[in-house]
Amino acid sequence: MVTGPGRELAASAAGHGYLRVSHDEREQVIDTLKVAFVRGLLAKDEFDLRVSQAFASRTYAELAVVTAGLPAEPSAAQPTTPARAEGAQPVLRPGRVMAAATGLYAGVQAFVFLSPWPEGNENDPARAKIALFLLSNPVYLLVLLICVVFLIAGWREKRRSFRRRPRGAVTGRAR
């Protein structure tokens, strides 16, 4: 009665229709709808309506209604995953590292400039504060440089995996 992931959805909805669905499960149903639309099984208006219903669905029962009436075909939709070389590590997201480094750097700079300067023999600031100021700048710049390199590598990996998809492949996002 339903295609691909919808078949498991219908079975789940029968016994556990009140359980909440995840974003990935909604995306799988949307992929199923895209395949049905490309094959001419859904009109554009009906496709748009079902996609909006899929995004609004919170439970298995609501999501099963979205794929109701579509013919069952086992190879209709498979979850899309980025193409990656066998055994390759995923590119890490450096956003949190950049945020933590910026917060730490701002704290060090606030400490250096806002805390009272200890008075030495000649009213000079303490050597430790000067060293902290002089060392924190290049360390912070080095961390940011490494994070930017990881960001660029992530973007390139994403572009590379997008280019490897066969023409006409179904993507995980609705437009």
Q: Convert the pLDDT of each residue in 31-74 to its tens digit.
A: 889 988 888 888 889 899 999 999 888 888 888 888 888 876 64
Lookup: tokens for 143: 């961390």
Can you give the pLDDT at residue 144?
92
Poorest-pLDDT segment among 43-47, 86-90, 103-107? 86-90
Residue 174 exposed, middle or buried by CB count within 10 Å (0-12, 13-18, 19+):
middle
Residue 84 CB contacts under 8 Å (≥ 6 apart), including other chains = 90, 157, 161
Can you give the pLDDT at residue 102?
92
Look at residue 142 and tell me whether its pLDDT is greater than 50. yes
Can you give the pLDDT at residue 159?
79
| Pick from 146, 10, 132, 131: nearest CA to 69 | 10
| Pick from 71, 8, 56, 38: nearest CA to 171 | 38
Q: What is the DSSP letter of 104?
A: H
Can you give the pLDDT at residue 141?
93
The whole-model pTM stands at 0.41
Find the helix or strand (DSSP H, E) in which 73 lies.
none
Look at residue 11 and tell me whether its pLDDT is greater than 70. no
